[in-house]
Structure 1
Amino acid sequence: MDSLGPKAEWRFRERKLGLFSCLRREQGVSTVVEVGMGTAPNLKHYAKDVDRIIGVDPNMAMHQYARKAAEAAGAAAKLQLVTGTAEALPLEDASADAVVMTHVLCSVRDQQQALAEVRRVLRPGGKLLFLEHVAAPEGEVLHAVQRALNPVVGFVGHGCSATRCTLAAIERAGFASLDADSFKVSFWGPAAVIAPHIVGCAVK
């Protein structure tokens, strides 16, 4: 992830700049929880504008890379790393102003439980910011290809799924409002199986 991630990250730069533009202390966002932080490629987009960042990841091996990214973003003192899963966030109720999830809901064991946990830790009016690859619409050739190749995607992506209807899951999660866009990423070859994406914001 640390070596290959930057090669794909440029494809999402403009989307992330727009998505994270609301993560500002002057807009009432002080504490951000990033679920599935991994190697922390998102920090450079928002770390300087908030006061506290809690990174949650089930893989402790990612922590050293997240700390390195925080140092590069000038936010090492703001970052707290905890080991945990999206389905059981080790955080108190209403403790976050915003939750960030990018390319996470494709691999959690239980999307609805993970989203319920996000709602639990968000304060009233808090925001879930998401960017996820999703299943292509039924009837499209790509949808059939995704279903056929999903076992391979799961093996290569350590449990990732190319067939999840993530926007529908977010719609069922009970947020007060939801704003989302769909787009496709210009991946070539086998990676095109994860080209369909959604990006948006859900407010508790």
Structure 2
Amino acid sequence: MPHPEGQGKPCWSGQAPTLGDRLFAWFMSQCGPKVTWRLKGRKQALFERLHRDHGIKTVVEVGMGTAPNLEFYGPFVDKVIGIDPNTAMAAYALRAAEAAGVASKLRLLTGRAQALPLDDASADAVVMTHVLCTVKDQAAALVEARRVLRPGGLFIFLEHVAADPGDRLARWQRWLDPAVGVVGHGCSATRHTLEAIQAAGFSAVQAERFRLDLWLPAAVVAPHVAGVAVR
């Protein structure tokens, strides 16, 4: 399905945001900068691949939320399409785009990772950060990411994941997963996301596992994976 033309204004579809949506958007606007600060170095290194000089002109960020990533790649590409199911995020994303000096490049669409409102092979890169922990069907979301990527396009990912089965933290993740779902608006701490990406049919996957220095209960989202897959 072709996407609407125009930039800088959200394309509304579906239901208006609920009170829960608005509260979660506000919560992410408050905690997002703290998470970004912890991951700044890794994001800078990861998003260096997103540059028009590398043939990356159009980037689709799925689950853009309040747009904390725009400062890292926005100035270096020609067009950014941000997609999120929560329309309450749009106002925060537009402010982030203004702060990053890329508002004229940004187009916001309402949609879900499992059914992206975009044409086949319409993107040079797809970005997901802390998104695959939330989507109900990871496999479907990854199929969609591959569909909208051009051949040779890049899938950039950074996600918190399940700890190794023998790790004591894995038990805490299972115990606290319901609470994580409430706080994280459907998020899960027990996803084996890298394995899902490796099984999604990309021609190559490069990834690194790492762990943030967090105390319980926040430590249940400490294990991470970040990397790049090629369509």
TM bucket, shorter chain: over 0.9
The aligned length equals 204
Correspondence 1:1-204 to 2 at 5 A? 1-204=28-231
Displacement of 1:37 in angstroms is: 0.2
Distance 1:8 1:127 in 2: 24
Cα distance in structure 2, aligned partners of 1:8 and 1:56: 20
Q: Which letter maps to 1:134?
A: V
Q: CA–CA distance in 2 between the matches of 1:3 and 1:41?
A: 11
Question: Which stretches in structure 1 are left out of the alignment for 5+ residues?
Answer: none
Q: TM-score if structure 1 supplies the norm length? A: 0.99
* SS of structure 2 residue aligned to 1:22: coil
CA positional deviation for 1:188: 2.2
Residue matched to 2:18:
none
Question: Matched residue of 2:48: which SS?
Answer: helix
Structure 1 segments of 4+ aligned residues over 3 angstroms from their partners: none
Distance 1:50 1:173 in 2: 26
Counterpart of 1:100, as a letter, is: V
TM-superposed CA distance for 1:189, in Å, is 3.0
Counterparts of 1:82 and 1:187, CA distance in 2: 34
| Matching residue's letter, 1:178 | V
Q: Take 1:51 and 1:198, find their aligned partners in 2: how far apart are those partners?
A: 27
Aligned mates of 2:36, 2:57 — CA distance in 1:
25
Separation in 2, partners of 1:36, 1:63: 11
Summarize deviations over 1:38-74 as a string: whole Å, max 9, x none.
0000000010000000000000000011110101111
Q: Secondary structure at the match of 1:132?
A: strand
Shift of 1:156: 1.1
Matching residue's letter, 1:98: A
TM-score, normalised to structure 2, is 0.87
